Amino acid sequence: AKKAPANAIIAPNFKFEDMGIGGLDTEFSDIFRRAFASRVFPPGLVEKLGIQHVKGILLHGPPGTGKTLIARQIGKMLNAREPKVVNGPEVLSKYVGQSEENIRKLFEDAEKEYKQKGEESGLHIIIFDELDAIFKQRGSTNSGTGVGDTVVNQILSKMDGVEQLNNILIIGMTNRKDMIDEALLRPGRLEVHMEISLPDEQGRYQILNIHTAKMRTNNVMDVDVDLYELASLTKNFSGAEIGGLIKSATSFAFNRHVKVGTMAGISDDVENLKVNRNDFISAMD
């Protein structure tokens, strides 16, 4: 009997609570159920059922909602190699002329390892951020040099080749799903689509909680900071904006101390730093 592939194991020390993702429990378990369950099936079951692993997923939604966070955590959970991250606009601008070579290189490590180890190979994740920058170009008259089309065709043919490689997972991300070439979203390519929306109030509370955890353990945050109140005040904030809010509030608090202190006193000020309710409210303006 075949041994279980290395990639079919949830990392033993992986804990859902440690992911640092707020408000996306449903989305995460949904993605897992639709796209990754087969990767953790008992050995042999995938072949027995004659099914194929999902090779690509699309995460779409507004900026700063945690798409990159999810993509990276999926990698950790599935015990994958460090993901390769490609930024859409970069592929088309910075690397013009070298794009095809770069795309070839992206898949190279995974191909080599699969050739050597077959099903024993580790899982390789390739993340395409701002995917629309590459895939909206296809067939459009303003693709200029035509670099866009060549790159798109090459990525598509690589993806189709992935059929034979059980050890690659492609994660595409975009704020504009509507702009993406349908050809990319077909079965066998980025076939599972998941919308990651702005967090609701409970999600915002969880995100605030995650981002202030250290400050609260180190007693830097005043008791008058009410995370439930902040969650209700931050309607339409993305996770990234909530992170930014906490940083600004900390700066406000820091500045308050620096104003009355001297440069020499800065380290004391850090010791005395207390972020209070008003710092958050000021930061929100």
Per CB under 6 A, 69 contacts ligand ATP: yes
Shortest Å, Cβ 202 to ligand ATP = 12
Based on DSSP, count helices (H) and strands (E) in the chain, helices before strands.
13, 5
Cα separation values, 246 from 215, 236, 261, Å: 10, 16, 23
Output the smallest distance, CB 267 to ligand ATP, in A.
Answer: 26
Nearer to ligand ATP, 23 or 56 (CB): 23
| Burial annotation 67-104 (CB, 10 A radius, 16+ → b, else e) | bbbbbbbbbbbbbbbebebbbbebbbeebeeebeeebe
List the interface residues with ligand ATP, window 22-61 (CB under 6 A): 22-24
* Cα distance between the two ends of the chain: 64
Sheet order of strands, 124-129 included: 84-87, 124-129, 168-174, 56-60, 192-195
Which residue is at the shortest CB distance from ligand ATP?
A: 239
| Contact predicate 28/77, CB 8 Å | no
One-letter amino acid at 280 equals F
Q: Tell me: does residue 175 bind ligand ATP (CB under 6 A).
A: yes
Q: Which one among 43, 64, 261, 265 touches ligand ATP, defined by CB under 6 A?
A: 64
Stretch 191-210 residues interacting with ligand ATP (CB under 6 A): 207, 210
Would you say 180 and 135 are in contact if contact means Cβ atoms under 8 Å apart? yes
Name the residue type at position 35: A
Toward ligand ATP, which CB reaches closer, 53 or 60?
60
Q: Which stretch binds ligand ATP (CB under 6 A): 21-29, 110-118, 135-143, 259-267?
A: 21-29
The residue among 18 and 224 lying less far from ligand ATP, judged by its C-beta, is 18
Shortest Å, Cβ 90 to ligand ATP:
13
Which of 220, 240, 273, 281: binder of ligand ATP (CB under 6 A)? Answer: 240
**Segment 135-164, which members bind ligand ATP (CB under 6 A)?**
none
Strand ranges inside the chain, DSSP E: 56-60, 84-87, 124-129, 168-174, 192-195
Q: Which residue number, 198 or 258, has a Cβ lying nearer to ligand ATP? A: 198
CB 231 within 8 A of CB 204: yes
Residue 65 near ligand ATP by CB under 6 A = yes
* Closer residue to ligand ATP in complex, CB, 172/239: 239
- Binding positions for ligand ATP, rule: CB under 6 A: 20-24, 63-69, 129, 173, 175, 207, 210, 239-240, 243
